[in-house]
Structures are given as structure tokens and as C-alpha cells.
A and B are shown apart, each in its own frame.
Chain A
Amino acid sequence: MRVSGIIHQQICQLKWHLLACLGLIMVLPIEEAIVDLRAGDDYLSSAMASLAIMFSPLLAGLIACANVQGDLNEKRYIFWRSKPANVKLLITLKYFIGLVASLLIIACPVIFVILCSIIWNSEGFDRFVPLPILIAIMAYSLCFACNVVVRKTARAWLIGMLIGCFVLVLPFMLPLNLKDFMTDVMLLTFGLYLTIILVVSAAAFLFALYAAQHDWYLKTNLRELLWVGTGLVFILLMLFSSQVANIKVLCEREIDAAGTNELAYLGNRVILNGISYVDIDNNKISLSHVAPDPDTGLVWLAWGESAYGREGYIAQIYPDPRHGGLYKKVGDEVYSLVIYAYCSEEISGLYEKVYLRSYRFAEDPQPRASELDISDCLMDRINRIRIAARLIDNILVVCVDDSCIVVDVADPNELRQIDEKINVLKDVRWHLEYEDRSKTFAVPLVPINDINIEERIRLSIDLIYRFYGSIYESSIVDIHDGKIAFFSASQRDVARFDVTSWDDEKIYCRFSAARPFTILEGMAGAPGRNGRTFVKDQKLYCYEDEQLMVFDVSLDRSIRKLGHFVRMDRNIEDIAVLEDGKLLLCTSWSKRGGIGHHRQRRYLYLLENPE
């Protein structure tokens, strides 16, 4: 039998299926391109083409089944078996002709998008497009092998798809410590997945050859045995698989509290809402009051004296007592450090005075320990004010608008100004642009010589990219083994920027890695621009609303997701990393049940930090 004749016959046999598949795969890209053209956004179709390519394994399987069924259904099978045909040659040719045909079909939207992006000079596909094409090859092979044995198009297609899905999930069930699809599979162990896909494809092809040669035909008796065998394998896998990426909850406790929950550090201990110490014993959360009177505690230290103590003025307080406090312990005495900025009630938003005050925890009704007037920072008298502060050992760096004040707080009873840098953060760009990822960019280095260079770099980056954030208790900068990196979160991804060098005035940074959020993570509310982000001990914590995500940032070129914690309808309010690495989390739950009926509950969670 001539090879060219077989090829011709196979192509003729498949032509209608190929045309149908081509129509199905191209309809969405063309539709999107037309919509974009009508909307005046050029002739673009990358999103729908990506979607079509995602579904290409289904079509590849369909082509495989049509290909096999063309010659292996009852009547045709008798016909060609009666010819002097080489079964192996025929099946090999069928396999590769169908494979090439399905790859050509899948290539059509790819070529369409590439051409569109060249002509209109726009963004093409992302780098993950090859994966569905590889999966399509596997799906084709599996469906081909199944149809050789089952010989019913629909059932073979379904069984092939089922085996394909199972193979894709299998690596996560085996003890390979895979946790993150984006990093583990797409970046770190793509070779493993590629091997699995190619080995399964090759095995399916060889199986198909052997089955066709020996005329294997799965009829009835063997089917029950296969069901039982598959069930047993599944149960075994379920027994040996374990939880992968969810963060384990060690303890959950409902607490009585009003307002927003906040956790603050006081030395080694964590304080909840400035009122209670949070202690952990055998993975149990226990609360003990800071003060004999549970209604006071440290919370009013954070508030200090009444914010509205000055008649005719409105005060802004930093740290916002609803979100935390800046505490310092000297001997047995506990102090809080608070910054007050006063603006006139008459000219709203025009700030006139700024004070740094320290308060001592005592039963004294007027516990103010010391006060420092830092109003010199108010240079421009603009209609808003930015305040930030960070305590580094006994040095408190206070930043107001574009100026910084360095204060010695070794003795909080006597605050002493050491240095003053006016307008050092003027004309700074306060956010990262996507374009920054393609070039080295510079960040101003805060000229404070009273702290070491690493802390200066950390402070500078935090001030610029988290000025409104709680930089007094956390940082987005990771310093490890002499390497300095910082992180940002957006709706699309979390990104890592390395500090490459610095001089007396500037820090030079360069983008090094990003970990995109998947569609599935987005469904549960991935932390976006409004999410809070911080780094501690080479782990990046991102949280917003209902979801916390923890990433491993110890590798230079990748950000690997370690785990997630989700609680629907709960709002994550604050998080603290304990000394032993465990996580303490505050959440609130609220429900409106009619006019004037508003139920609210608050919870504390102790979580295992994922490794």
C-alpha cells in the first residue's frame, strides 16, 4: 500500500472535521477583532484567541476520535483488515496526520494574533500559551489510544479527556511538594510537566499501535474491571495525597471588641486593640488584660490625650489608633509615641502645628511624658498632610510631608531632636509604573546618617512606596545575605525589584521577577492595589478583604506562592507574624439585618505559617 495514498485518504476523511474545528476555534478571535475594530481599538484579538487556544485540547481530542473512527468502526475495520496493509504503518500514519492537522488548526489563532500584533504594533500572547498546545498533543494521543480500544467516538473522547485531566492533576497529588501552579509548574518544574506530557503522549501512541495490531476491543467484561481498577487507584491516591496550598488553621476564637481590630508589637508580645496581650500556648489563643481596668489598657495611650483638646482645631493622629500603635518598653515602663498634626477648623485641611508626644502607661490621668514641636516640617502648607514614622532601636525617624526629623527616644520622658532634613523627599514619584520593569530606575536615599545604610535603604523605599501605609510596624523591603529587594502588589501580579547599587543620594533598582495572579485566584479576590503587603523573614504577605496569600521570596528570580487563607464574608483587618513564625490574624464579620439591626462579630485566628 502506497504511503501517499494513505495520506491522501486520511486527509479526505478528515477534511470536514478539520473545517468544523477551524470554524469553532477561529470564531471567537475574529469576533473579538471585529468588536475591537468597531470600538476603535484596532484589529486585536489576543484575549479571545487565548481562550480559544485554552479549549484547543478538546478539539484535538475530537480530531483524534474522528481520525480513528474513520477506519476502526465495524464495517471499515473489516474492509481495511482484508487488504494487505501494514497495521503499524497505517496507525502511525493516521496518528501523525491527525496530529499535524490538529496542530495546524491550533496554529491558526496563534498566527492570526501574531499577524494582528505585528500590523498594529500591539501586545501579543503571554508566555503561557505553549502549555495548552502541549496539553492538546497529550489529549490527542490519549483520545486516539482510547478510540482504538473503545471504538465509540463519544465514549473514547470522554475517557481520553478524563485521563488527560487526571494526568494534569496527578503531580499535585504525588509527594513532589508542588504548591503553586504558576511558579512550581510554569517556571520551576516545567521540565517535569513537559516530561509527563510527552511520556504520556508517547505511551498512548505505542499503546494504540499495539492495540490495533492485536485487535484489542474493549467490549463488556473488561469494563467493570477497569472501573474497579480506576476506583482503587483513585482511593489510593486520595489516601496518600495531602493538603497542598491552604494555610492550616490551628486555632479560631471569637472575641469581644468594637471598632477595627488591630495587632501591635510590644517587644516580644503582641497586643490586641491596645487592651489585651495575646498569648499562645499549645496552639491555643488566650487573652490577658494589659491593665487591671479592661476598658483602658494601652489603647488610650495610643489615642493619648483627647485629639480635640485644642479648641478650634482638628487633629490628625499617627499611628492611627484604630489601626495600631507605636509602643516602646523601657525597663518596666511602657510608652507610646504619637504624632499630632493640627489644622484649623476654619480653614479645613490647612495644617499649622505638628507635635511628637510620648505617653507613659500609668494610672495618671495626664500621662504625657514628653513633647517635641516638629512644625518646621510643614513647609508648603498644602491642603493635605503625609505622616510616617519608624522606630529603629532608640532612633525614631518621623517624616512629615517631604521632610524628616530624627529623634532620640532612648528616654521617652525626654524626647530629643538629633537631626532635621527639610524637603528631602520633594519631587519624588510615589508609585511604581509598569514601564519601570524594563529599565533601571532610581529612588532617593533619605540623608539620615544616624542609622545604618541598610535601614536607610529600607526606610527610603518604604517611605516612597508605602508613605501612607503602616511603615512603623512592617516593611516591603527584604534584606538577606547582603541582597536587598522590595516588592509591590497590583491587581495583575506581585513583583520583585532588586536594589542593584546605591550612592550618597540615590538607590538604583531593577525589576527581577513577577508572579501573576491566576484567574482562579482572582475569583476568590486576589490582593490588588488596595491590598496590604509586607515582607518578613523572606516571606511576602499580601492580604485584602477575604484573602491572605503568602509567598516565598528567598529565590532571586522567582516568587513562589506558599499558601492562601480565605474566609468568605470575613474582612481581614490585621496580621502579625509571631516569633515562632506562626501567624495571628484578626477578622471581622458583619451583617445588616434590617433598619438599625447590625450584627458584627470578630475573630482571632492562629495560623501555621506555610513552608
Chain B
Amino acid sequence: MFRMLLWKEWRENLWKLWFCGAASIAFTAMLFRIRIVPDISNCMLISLVQMFVVPVVYSLDIFSGEMSNRTIHLLFKIPVRKWMIFFSKYIVTVIGILVIFLITGVLMEFMAHGREARVLYLFKTNLLFGLAGLALFTWFCAFGCQSRSEAGSLGAMFSVFIGWGIAYFWATICEVTWAALFVPYSLTELGADGIVVMIFLQSLVSVMVLVIAFYRYASIRRYL
């Protein structure tokens, strides 16, 4: 049953993969060809935009779509556990985000091979931005899994962006280094010390956030 749910989510969200993948490939190809700014800057620019846009695209109707279309009633009547419904959505999103970032990173490496950046630098940078985007999406799940409209989802996602933005500025301005370790944006610092520790910590936090998100999603029926 879980495989069927995964298949359903995959089919429903395939357009997002196509859309984000095509847009990412197009803009990567364009910017890395015309080279208005150095490759490293192009990579940062594309990765930064992806980090914000790809989670937004996935978050728009991943949960709220079921509510606005009223299909959530049908979904909850299927004899499956709720964690399967929730995690099928989450896993499909994770796969989608990772595929988009991997494709873009490989394309960047291919186009900029032997040019300005050291080997695999662009790929690693893009992938770290992807991980940050994934962490941001995970946080969105906790806040936006009960939203009933796309606008609500968008609001929840923007709130996560801005909230962590404020936390990041506070942590850097006030030099609270331990706090910065928990901010998803810190993952984008490729040269940062202890990047492995940071990834590990954020994974732990993400697991906890997912538990909260699942709890909230499972209690949706009360509000329907």
C-alpha cells in the first residue's frame, strides 16, 4: 500500500519535478554560457534561488492540495496508517528536491569543467544549498501540513524562510556560534568548520521536526 501511495504522490507531483528541473537546467545553461559574472557567483546565485523556489513549489499543494480538492476525506478512508500518507508525501518531495539539485550540480560541473572553480566545488556548493532547502521544507511540514489553501502554504513557507533568516542574523550578529549550527542557512557555508557536525545536528533536528509535523498531520481530522 505504501508503494501505491508513493506512486500516487509521484504522479501528482511529477509536474513540479519537470518544472523545477527544466527551469534549473535552462537557467544554469544560460548563465554558465553567457558568464556575466564568474562561475562561482553564478553557482551561488542559481543555488540560492533554487534553495528558496524549489521548496516553495513542492510545498504549495503537497498538503493543502488534498484539502482544497476535498480528496483528504477519501485519503483518510483508505485502510492505511496515517504515517504512510504523510511520509509518502515527504519522501516524494525529498527525492524530487534532491534530483533537481543533483541534476543542476552535475550540469554546473559539466559546463564549468576546467574553467574557474576547482573540481566538484560547484557540485558540492549546489548540493549543500539543496540540503538547506530540504531542511527548510522539513520545517515547513511542521507549520504548513494543516494549511487548507495554496496561499496558506505559501505563507507558512515564507514564514519559515523569514523566521530562520531572522535567527541566522541574530546568531551571526550576536556571534552565538552554537545557535548558527541549527539554522538551515548555515549549511550553505561550504568552507565552514564542522560541516559534517552541522549536517548531523540538522538531521537530528529534522527528525524531531518531522515527528511534530506527523503528529499535527495525523490530528487533521479534528479540523476538517
Contacts and interface: CB of A to CB of B under 8 A. Distances in A.
Interface of A: 17, 20, 24, 27-28, 31-32, 35, 62, 66, 153-155, 158, 161-162, 165-166, 169, 172-173, 179-181, 227, 234, 237-238, 241-246, 518, 520-521, 523-524, 547, 564, 566-569
A242 B47 CA distance: 23
Given A35-B169, A154-B57, A566 B38 contact: yes
B151 A523 contact: no
A173 B151 contact: no
A241 B121 CA distance: 26
Given A234-B26, A566-B40, A31 B35 contact: no
A241 B27 CA distance: 13
Nearest to B153: A154
B212 interface: no
Contacts of A180: 36
B57 A564 contact: no
Interface stretch (B74-82, B127-135, B139-147, B154-162): B154-162
Interface residues of B, number: 41
Given A227-B22, A244-B34, A568-B40, 16 more contacts: A27-B166, A31-B169, A62-B151, A154-B57, A154-B154, A169-B31, A238-B30, A238-B33, A243-B34, A245-B34, A245-B36, A520-B41, A520-B45, A523-B38, A564-B38, A568-B121
Nearest to A153: B150
A318 B36 CA distance: 39
B37 A524 contact: yes
B57 A158 contact: yes
B34 A524 contact: no
B18 to A, nearest CB: 8
A28 B162 CA distance: 8
B60 A154 contact: yes
Contact of A62 (B19, B154, B159): B154
A171 to B, nearest CB: 10
A28 B166 contact: yes
Given A153-B150, A568-B117, A179 B36 contact: yes
Contacts, number: 105
Contacts of A237: 30
10 shortest interchain CB distances as A-B pairs: A154-B60, A520-B41, A524-B38, A566-B38, A246-B35, A566-B116, A520-B37, A523-B41, A244-B34, A568-B117
Contacts of B26: 166, 234
B151 A17 contact: yes
A243 B36 CA distance: 8
B173 interface: yes
Contacts of A234: 26
A153 B166 contact: no
A248 B117 CA distance: 15
Nearest to A52: B162
A441 B24 CA distance: 51
Given A20-B155, A28-B166, A162-B23, A244 B36 contact: yes
A173 B116 contact: no
Nearest to A185: B36
A169 B173 contact: no
Interface string B162-194: 100110011001000000000000000000000
Interface in B16-69: 19, 22-23, 26-27, 29-31, 33-42, 44-45, 53, 57, 60-61
